[in-house]
Amino acid sequence: NNSYQLSSVPLQILFYVNGIYYIFYFLATLAMIVYKSEVFSYPDDFLAPDLASLFIMAILEVLRLYLGSKGNLTEEEAPLGLSLLITVGSVILSVYFLVWQTYVLKADVIINAVLLFTYGLESVLKVVAIAAFVS
């Protein structure tokens, strides 16, 4: 039966899990930024880039998951390709939170590592799905 259904079920599951995980990630990172600003010395010109990156990442994530899910379900490669491109931006932002943030706590390292792992797995599955749709 898989021959006439090209949509990738693991990819869809991963999108769903990614969405839930990202909500948790967003709230956790925001809470930790608030915590850091209270406990540590966090001047405004260091706080602003961190918060801006977090909100841009949230917007990109919503776009990415929507396009990817739509592309997978309608078996079109264009939205899926666009989603893959946006994933690159999300990966860069995740690396920013992992390495270039003002204060990187151990919790930051953990949740960003999980997110990067998820992105990597998703990218692989997206490439496989695009290959399946194109051919």
Partner 1 sequence: PPETRAATRARTRSGPAPVTDVAKLCVCDLLVAQCDVNCCCDPDCSAADFSLFTTCSVPLVTGDNRLCSQKAAIYSLDVEANPPERIFKLIDQVNPSVFCIHATNYKQALAFSSPEMPTSENFDQLLEQFGSATFSAEPDSWNMNKDAQNPSDANETYRYEYGVPIQTVDAFLRLPSPVVSSWCSDGNPAGFLVNQATKCTRSVNVEECGNIQAASMLFYINSSILAVNITVQSVVVQSLNGMRTLLNGSDVLRLPMILDELCINIVLGMSYHITYTDTGEIIQAAASFVLGEINKEALSIQQSFEISFTQVNTKPVPVSGNPGYVVGLPIRAGFRPQGYPFPVEILFAALVLNTNKYGQLTILQSTSNQDCLAAQGPRTPILFGYNMISGCKLRITAAMKCQPLTQTLLDLLKGQNFPEYVASFGNSQAQDVLDWVPITHLHTSEQRIYNTFQSSCQIPVSLEIEVKWTKYGSLVNPQARIVNVTATITTTTLKQLPSGRERTIPITSSVVFTDISSPAEPGYKAWPTINAKLPFDFFFPFV
**Using CB under 8 A as the criterion, which residues of the chain lie in contact with partner 1 when the complex forms?**
30, 32, 34-35, 37, 40-41, 43, 46, 51, 55, 99-110
Of 21 and 46, nearer to partner 1 (C-beta) is 46
Task: Output DSSP code: residue 7.
Answer: S
**Shortest distance in whole angstroms from residue 18 CB to partner 1:** 23
Task: Output DSSP code: residue 100.
Answer: I
101: left (phi over 0), alpha (psi -120 to 50) or beta: beta
**Shortest distance in whole angstroms from residue 48 CB to partner 1:** 10
Give the Cα separation of 95 and 112 in Å (integer): 8
**Shortest distance in whole angstroms from residue 120 CB to partner 1:** 21
